[in-house]
Amino acid sequence: MFFFSPLLIPALFLGVVLYDFFNSELPPGIEQPLKLRFFHSLMITAMVMVNSKLLIKDLTVDGVPLRIYQPKNPPTGKRRGILYFHGGAGTFGSIRAFERVCRYMAKKCNSVVVSVGYRLAPEHPYPGQYFDCLNATLYFMRNLEEYHVDPGLIIISGDSCGANFATVICQILLNDRDLPKVRAQVLLYPGLQGLDFHLPSYQQNAFVPMLSRKMIIYFCFRYLNRKPTFWKDVLQNCHVPDSMRQQYKKWVSADLIPDEFKVRGYVPPKPAAYKPEVHEAVKEILAATFSPLLAEDSIICQLPESYIATCEFDVLRDDGLLYKKRLEENGVQVTWYHCKNGFHGILAFFGYGFFSFLSANKIMDSIVNYINSL
């Protein structure tokens, strides 16, 4: 799951304003140059935020804020519909933080994008986030005509914990035959399991920003609204019964990660002893909602075509690799994009000019190309 400070976005806006403030050229003698620089900078920021090519509507469904992005030009036919669940460890993040990502998809894919502002834990207790995302999805699916969306072109997407929500929602919808079938799931550096925190990516990227290995455990406790009493034990996988470890090693194991992803100094760890009291404290993270990677083959084989993006310098990299393997082994078509220079949460910086990362642009272009190919 992915965390970034709620102060990050205002700070980036301030950076844009200051950059323009100090780099715009004004000739000598112009009236009140400081005031002019200031208002020009604000105008630039407003231009970044406002896009004349999109219609944007805010509404609330069952207490959940939604922001809907639609191309302004009249549709020549039915459009794609994209649901987007943002990252933030289930406890941070917002619709605003991923404004640029959603705008970009709406424009470049000529699609209707529904960004879901699910309510955050611990104030809104787990597993309420899944119900919020599900209710938003059901609302959209039941009102496709209003948005000129093709029921055969519905895409469910998200980043980090939002990708976890997208995965779970796709699995839940398999049981509802009265709704349109999801065309594809788009999962961006997803967090999909709480069984093994010793996978190669967890070891190799334990201290890499924006998400360290310790932060993963901290946010698991925060998400569940539990005191992090046993966080060191969970870090050592002491929360997993031996029977469960054996049951799921066919799906979650370092042995299933390709050797090319172990070259950065991976050392197989010694197994730690199971502690029942630790399991009891965090047993929810082993449930099918929190860990959709553990779903049975009978569910996985029914899932829609999938796009998975992983980043090399990300503790969650191997969650994506393992899910890719499971999907492919169950006959699900997977398009995989691996960002060799990327880190977890990189899309939070997308669209901020000087503050953006080239890898984020490449990921977004890959996503757009995939969606446009459907």
Q: Is 319 among the residues known to form the active site?
A: no
Catalytic residue among 86, 239, 279, 344: 344
Task: Show the DSSP H helices in 205-302 as ranges.
Answer: 213-223, 231-235, 242-248, 276-282, 297-300
Output the six-digit token pair for 372.
């446009």
How many residues belong to the chain?
374
Q: Is 153 helix (H, G, I), strand (E, B) or coil?
A: strand
- Torsion over CA: 33, 38, 41, 47 (sign): negative
Number of Cβ within 10 Å of residue 268's Cβ equals: 11
79-85: strand order across its sheet: 54-61, 64-71, 111-116, 79-85, 149-159, 184-188, 305-313, 334-343
Q: Is 160 among the residues known to form the active site?
A: yes
Output the six-digit token pair for 311.
């980043």
The residues facing 159 across adjacent strands are 188
Q: CA Rg, the chain, in Å?
A: 21
**What is d(CA 83, CA 147) in angstroms, rounded to the nearest whole number?**
13
Q: Is 124 among the residues known to form the active site?
A: no
Output the six-digit token pair for 68.
């809907």
* H or E segment and range at residue 314: none
Closest CA to 15 of 349, 298, 374: 349
Catalytic residue among 160, 201, 291, 306: 160
Catalytic residue among 314, 318, 319, 359: 314
- Inter-residue contact 122 to 93 (CB < 8 Å): no
Through-space distance between the first and last CA atoms of the chain, rounded to whole angstroms: 28
Which residues lie below 8 Å from residue 175, measured CB to CB, with a gap of 6+? none
Which residues are the active-site residues?
A: 160, 314, 344
